[in-house]
Chains A and B, each alone.
Chain A
Amino acid sequence: MNIEPWMIGTAIAVLVLLWALFTYNRFISLKNSIEESFKHIDITLAQRFDSLTRIAETIAAYTKHEKEVHTEVAKLRSQFDNQNENEKVKTSNELSRLVSGLQVQVENYPELKANENYLHLQKSINELEERLAASRRTFNARVAKFNTMLQQFPTNLFKFFMKLEKRELLHIDNSKKQDVDIAKILRG
């Protein structure tokens, strides 16, 4: 059988089409996986925020500042629900600072220090911090893959067809890269 030029042309066209389909699907799946990891961060942030709220309320119940703490927590809670990720991190950190301030007083309440609910919450916050760091690392790994594909030739051609934009990486605090020895923290 003779190979005609049109056959070669068709074969190349089919290959290009297959590559285009594959790359298109790859971008879609990467985009979705970035969204998924972002949601994961969001969920973990919300869980961390809940734990912080509960720990603040547990401490406040033992101290003289119950009313002020409730007002402050309610204010932060209402802000948190409608914020984007960066703002949520900020609000969550604000609550974290409030909890740290309250924890200074825990020393004066030995019965609180031994309270099982308080200990449980304290420990769960640390685990959530670790899960949050893992979610952020997953997000960054996926974004890095996406950005590389977006910048490399020839996959960068899809940037215009699919109206894709480079995504920003999340900043990871160095102190969050280490495991937390919660037993040590609780023993003081």
Chain B
Amino acid sequence: MFSSYDEISYLLKDDINEMNKIRFKTLLKYIFGWIFLFASIIIPAIFGLSIPNAGIQWLAAFIFFFGTIASIVSFFKTLGTFRMAFKRKVVRSLLKALFETANLPEDNPNYEMKWGYSSQGKINNLLIGESGLFYLNRIDRVSGEDLIKGKIGSTDFYFSELKLFKQVRDYRGRSNTKLKTRYQGVLYLADFHKHFKGHTVLRDRKLFSFQHLKRYFRHHFHRMLSGKKLITIKMENDEFNKYFKVRTTSEFEARYILSANLMEDLVAFRKRNRNPIDIAFKKRFISLFLYNKKDYFEPSIFDSMEKQSKLVYDDLILFFRIINDLNLNTRIWSKD
């Protein structure tokens, strides 16, 4: 469906060239920034320590203080500008090229290709709640970036990097609180191709054991306190059971959602990703949370733009292929 990187690289040429120029300028500013920082530390130190004059010492302290602050601010500003330029030019151009050159299956006139990108945006809190993935934890704050949304074929999708925090009391006492990261990774939501009413969760069994144990207790506490019954069921596919634990409000519905084909597709998808993945089916969505500490779509001033652009392409394709891999465009009648 999507073109290879080589096929679309000619569409990115202008933006990559421009980005290379920006990278060169940023690199120069970066080097000068370091020189300025060293100078604002070393020069005042030499003069301030060697000349026993109060005026000179005050001047040295002034240069040291403001020079260091100016250098640090300049670093952040320079790298921030470069980062935003990369997202605006490379990530946006790649998305545009990918969607404009995608080959839609000819046999369906209803298929559409739409996309939107917001480098500062994230999936909104309502959708995070509706994903059905984070019901075991209280989430107090959410941060995220790189929201990409759109439509591939008949399937609407949204994904963004997310960090979900819980406020905890720290050791200093009741009034002091700090934020603890509960989940970090990419949340991917797509319109599921079947209708369902309940809630089905697929927990990755490969999460490290302590987390597993905490989840086990949290699940049972949640069951007791909320009265919401998510029962654990075993599927017919042994390999699938090795990777995922299925919890659902209705066994009939879980088996309706998890057809033999979908189970095979999910296992294949899970094998391709080295990190654990949690999946939930709630409302009209299939939601995947890919546990990952990687910062997606972030540039480096030390690598060539061509290389970085290819890396962004690989990451984007990984997410766009989910719809194809899980066959989400195969619509059931009521979701036509």
A residues near B (Cβ < 8 Å) are 37, 40, 120, 123-124, 126-127, 130-131, 133-135, 137-138, 140-141, 177-184, 187
Contact = CB atoms under 8 A, between A and B. Distances in A.
Contact of B259 (A126, A177, A187): A177
A87 B31 CA distance: 83
Nearest to A137: B255
A178 B330 CA distance: 11
A178 to B, nearest CB: 5
A183 B108 contact: yes
B contact residues, range? 20 to 34
B256 interface: yes
Nearest to B195: A127
26 contacts: A123-B333, A123-B336, A124-B333, A127-B333, A130-B256, A130-B332, A131-B256, A134-B252, A134-B259, A137-B236, A138-B255, A140-B236, A141-B234, A179-B261, A179-B262, A179-B327, A179-B330, A180-B332, A181-B330, A182-B331, A182-B332, A182-B336, A183-B336, A184-B107, A187-B107, A187-B108
B105 to A, nearest CB: 10
B108 A177 contact: no
Tell me the dominant secondary structure on chain A's binding face. Answer: helix
A120 B333 CA distance: 8
Pick the most buried of B193, B251, B253: most chain A CB atoms within 10 A of its CB.
Answer: B251
A184 B234 CA distance: 32
B53 interface: no
B334 interface: yes
Contacts of A141: 233-234, 236, 251, 255
B260 interface: yes
A120 B336 CA distance: 11
Contacts of A130: 194, 256, 259, 332
A112 B331 CA distance: 23
Pick the most buried of A37, A133, A135, A182: most chain B CB atoms within 10 A of its CB.
Answer: A182
A11 B110 CA distance: 69
Interface in B226-280: 233-234, 236, 251-253, 255-256, 259-262
Instruction: Across the A-B interface, give the 10 residue pairs with the lowest CB-CB distance, nearest first.
Output: A123-B333, A134-B256, A177-B260, A134-B255, A137-B255, A181-B330, A182-B333, A179-B330, A138-B251, A138-B252
A179 B327 CA distance: 9
B259 A183 contact: no
A131 B195 CA distance: 11
A37 B193 CA distance: 24
A127 B334 contact: yes
A123 B261 CA distance: 20
Pick the most buried of B193, B236, B252, B260: most chain A CB atoms within 10 A of its CB.
Answer: B252
Given A183-B108, A184-B107, A178 B259 contact: yes
Pick the most buried of A126, A137, A182: most chain B CB atoms within 10 A of its CB.
Answer: A137
Nearest to B255: A134
B252 A135 contact: yes
Contact of B333 (A37, A126, A140, A187): A126
B174 to A, nearest CB: 43
Contacts of B260: 177-178
Contacts of A181: 330-331
A121 B177 CA distance: 59
Nearest to B256: A134
A123 B195 CA distance: 13
Contacts of B327: 179
A145 B332 CA distance: 31
A91 B81 CA distance: 71
A137 B236 CA distance: 8
A134 B331 CA distance: 17
B37 to A, nearest CB: 60
A149 to B, nearest CB: 14
Interface in B285-336: 327, 330-334, 336
Contacts of B234: 141
